[in-house]
Amino acid sequence: MEIENVVEEMRTAINERDLEKLTRYVDVKTFLSEGYEEVTDELANNCAKFHKMYPHDLFFKFGAGVLRFYNSKFKGVHLGFITRVMKVYFDKNLKPPKSFTAAPIDFCAVELSKLLKALHSKVKKITVEKSRAVAEIEIAGDNSLYGKMWGNLNFQFEFVEVGEIWQLKKIVNVRELVPPVLDMAEKFWPKEWDLGIKI
C-alpha cells in the first residue's frame, strides 16, 4: 500500500474510532513508550527554562535529575492512563461522566473526542527514501474553544516499510512540538483534574 493511502487510512481509523484498523499501521505500545522517553528528554534538558516560564509547576521545580527519576518511576502509570483513555475513546458507546473525579478515564476520553472534532489535518509533504518515509502533516484547530486552544501545529511522522505495509514509527520533530504543547497544558489543564485519578 502506498504511504499516502496509509496516512488516509490512519486518519479515517481515528475519526471512525476503528482501533483494529489503526493498529495495522502502528504498534501503539512501542510508539507511546519511545515517544514518552523522547518527551522526557526534552523536558529534562530544558527543565531550568521551563521552571522560569512556569514557576508554579512543581514538575520543573526540583531539576532535571528529579524530573527524569519521576518520569522513569511512574512511566507505567502514565502510559497506562493514556492507553486506557485511548481504549475508552475507541469505544463507540462512550457516555460522558458527570465529572472528572467521578470517572477520570472516561472524562479524558470525552475531552479527547471533543478536541479531535475541532481539528483538521492536511498532508503538506511526504518524502520517501527506500524503506523510510516522513509525512509532514499540519494539524489545525477550528474556531471552537478546543480548536483555538490547539492552534496550529506541524507534525513530522516517520514511517518504516514492514513487508507490504508502512507502519508509523515515531514523531520526528518532538523538540519543536514540546514547547507549544506544554504551554497548552499549562494554560488550559485545570488543577482539579490532577486530583482523584485512579489507575
> How many Cβ atoms are within 10 Å of 147's Cβ, its own excluded?
17
What residues contact 66, with CB distance under 8 A and at least 6 apart? Answer: none
The predicted model gives 14-32 an average pLDDT of 95
pLDDT in tens, 118-159: 999 999 999 999 999 999 999 999 999 999 999 999 999 999
37 band by pLDDT with thresholds 50, 70 and 90: very high
Q: What is the value of pTM for the model shown?
A: 0.91
Q: Name the 3-class secondary structure at 160.
A: strand
pLDDT at 194 > cutoff 90: no
Higher pLDDT, 96 or 76: 76
pLDDT at 190 > cutoff 80: no
pLDDT in tens, 95-114: 888 888 888 899 999 999 99
pLDDT of residue 191: 67
pLDDT at 198 > cutoff 50: no
pLDDT at 197 > cutoff 50: no
Query: How far is CA 82 from each of CA 30, 43, 91, rounded to the nearest angstrom?
Result: 13, 18, 14
pLDDT at 20 > cutoff 60: yes
Higher pLDDT, 1 or 50: 50
* Alpha helices, DSSP H, located in the chain: 3-15, 19-22, 28-45, 47-53, 64-73, 75-89, 104-117, 145-150, 174-188
The predicted model gives 172-196 an average pLDDT of 84
Distance CA 31, CA 22 (A): 12
The distance of Cα 3 from the centroid of its chain, to the nearest Å, equals 21
183 band by pLDDT with thresholds 50, 70 and 90: very high
The predicted model gives 172-182 an average pLDDT of 98
Average pLDDT in the chain: 92
pLDDT at 199 > cutoff 50: no
pLDDT at 27 > cutoff 90: yes
- Domain range summary for the chain, segments of one domain joined by +: 3-192
> How many Cβ atoms are within 10 Å of 143's Cβ, its own excluded?
7
